[in-house]
Structure 1
């Protein structure tokens, strides 16, 4: 059995490196695709929640409401996130009563 020359070994290693690079690219592509699908799912879920609670009927309405709420949310985000759903619903109900009485 003849030994391989250095040139043959080098060529084989280069071929293996190309194969590994191709496999790496495939794995990276799959990861990016999974991340893209997860983001799309998140956007749909968040959009559905926003649409449900604010009875949004279009992109323009959503954009206007988002801009209007941005300042309030950024100032109160920690407080809101620390509340339970029940506390938020009770808080919303109390605020609605105050608006109805003062109108």
Structure 2
């Protein structure tokens, strides 16, 4: 069995590198697609919650105005509200 020349071995290694690079790009592409779908799902869910609780009927412009109006209050009270239990939140709704 004849040994391969350095040129042949170099060519084989370059071909292997190209194949690995193509597989890497495929995996990265699938990962980006999964992340994009997860973000889209999250945005839809959050939008639905916002629409439900604030009775949004005027579309995007109305939602944007309400969000800007609530922004300071939310930023100020976010940690406090997130630390509340579901029972505490339900009690505050009834007041």
Q: Residue deviations 1:24-75, cap 9 Å, x none?
A: 0000000000000000000000000000001111101100000000000101
Q: What residue number does 2:4 align with?
A: 4
Q: What residue number does 1:91 align with?
A: 92
Q: Does 1:34 align with 2:34?
A: yes
Instruction: Give aligned pairs, total.
Output: 94
Q: CA deviation at 1:84?
A: 1.6
Q: Does 1:22 align with 2:18?
A: no
- Unaligned ranges ≥5, structure 1: 95-103
* Aligned equivalents of 2:86, 2:52: Cα separation in 1: 16
* Aligned equivalents of 1:33, 1:88: Cα separation in 2: 36
* Aligned equivalents of 2:51, 2:85: Cα separation in 1: 21
Q: CA deviation at 1:87?
A: 1.1
Alignment map for 1:55-74 (pairs within 5 Å): 55-57=55-57, 58-74=59-75
Q: RMSD between aligned alpha carbons?
A: 0.8
Q: Secondary structure at the match of 1:2?
A: coil
TM-score scaled to structure 1, two decimals? 0.88
